[in-house]
């Protein structure tokens, strides 16, 4: 693994913070879709919600230098199209030069901290739409957890609708990650049944004054064929928490990637913290699934 120049990163942050904006402004950009119209995006916005665990290690993502080294290694691999993260990580990677020629997705509402009494309050505490535009990013992403037993969910819906409208005005693609959620034993649990995912899609798709620039980011669930029949919006698959063997995870992704309307995969911990520790091999295997799936890429 090639380690980034962390001394230079620390120096930039402490002594020349204008370097951060410059790195973002001069970054080499690319079209959102090209070639096979597929996207393989690495995600690392979990820490911003205080979610640092991977499998049975609750602090796996706590070492920022280790995380950056893993991301730097992963972003160097062919077939990786982009990165999704909060401003702190996007800016670190930009200064490191790891975002050149990549799609960069700004993660927005990170206020619903994991296990907090206010976890359902998914306020926009990271990027806003103007910040994404001013930072020369390519894509926005918002989390939309809908709890029918929590009156505060309507505030999240209203804020999301305003954000989607603003993105459409700026012609900025925006990725909506919807869930039907509920409190279970003091924690939020997302309902991953096909019926609930379909209901979340119906709600998310209608938000805002226009859906012209709306995308979906959906979990891979049983009966995924029926799920994908519930929307015409372009969709990226959510890698989710790593569970099961690597072969089982990749087989599930491969089947879902073959469905019409699916344009790729957004995945984080499963790839960055593989069971065997080989980040490059995990990234290569996932990239091959995304870009060599046996399907009509124009779907």
Instruction: Give the pLDDT confidence of 211-231 residue by residue, as tens digits.
Output: 999 999 999 999 999 999 999
pTM: 0.95
CA R_g for the chain: 18
Q: Report the b/e string of 188-219 with b at 16+ CB within 10 A.
A: bebbeebebbbbbbeebbebbeebebbbbbbb
Confidence of residue 298 (pLDDT cuts 50, 70, 90): very low
Bridge partners of residue 57, in order along the sequence: 54
The helix, strand and coil proportions of the chain, stated in percent and rounded to the nearest 5, come to: 35, 20, 45
Tokens of 211: 């859906």
Mean pLDDT of 122-135: 97
Full set of structural domains in the chain with CATH: 6-291 (3.20.20.70)
Confidence of residue 246 (pLDDT cuts 50, 70, 90): confident
Closest CA to 136 of 166, 165, 104: 104
Q: Over the chain, what is the mean pLDDT? A: 94
As a whole number of angstroms, the distance between CA 89 and CA 176 comes to 20
């Amino acid at each position: 693994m090639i380690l980034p120049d962390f001394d230079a990163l620390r120096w930039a942050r402490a002594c020349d913070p204008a370097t951060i904006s410059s790195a973002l402004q001069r970054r080499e950009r690319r079209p959102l879709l090209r070639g096979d119209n597929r996207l393989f995006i690495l995600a690392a916005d979990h820490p911003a919600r205080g979610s640092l665990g991977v499998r049975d290690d609750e602090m796996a993502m706590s070492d920022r230098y280790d995380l950056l080294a893993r991301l730097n290694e992963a972003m160097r691999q062919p077939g990786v199209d982009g990165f999704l993260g909060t401003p702190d990580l996007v800016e670190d990677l930009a200064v490191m030069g790891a975002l050149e020629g990549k799609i960069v997705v700004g993660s927005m509402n990170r206020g619903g901290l994991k296990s907090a009494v206010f976890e359902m309050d998914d306020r926009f505490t990271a990027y806003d739409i103007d910040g994404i535009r001013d930072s020369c990013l390519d894509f926005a992403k918002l989390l939309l957890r809908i709890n029918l037993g929590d009156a505060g969910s309507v505030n999240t819906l209203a804020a999301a609708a305003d954000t989607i409208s603003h993105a459409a005005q700026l012609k900025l693609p925006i990725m909506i990650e919807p869930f039907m959620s509920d409190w279970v034993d003091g924690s939020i649990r997302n309902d991953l049944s096909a019926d609930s995912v379909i209901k979340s899609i119906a709600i998310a798709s209608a938000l805002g004054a226009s859906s012209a620039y709306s995308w979906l980011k959906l979990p891979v669930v049983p009966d995924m064929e029926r799920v994908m029949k519930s929307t015409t919006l372009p969709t990226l698959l959510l890698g989710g928490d790593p569970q099961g063997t690597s072969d089982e995870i990749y087989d599930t992704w491969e089947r879902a990637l073959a469905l019409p309307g699916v344009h790729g995969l957004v995945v984080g911990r499963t790839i960055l913290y593989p069971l065997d520790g080989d980040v490059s091999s995990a990234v290569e295997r996932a990239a091959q699934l995304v870009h060599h799936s046996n399907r009509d890429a124009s779907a």
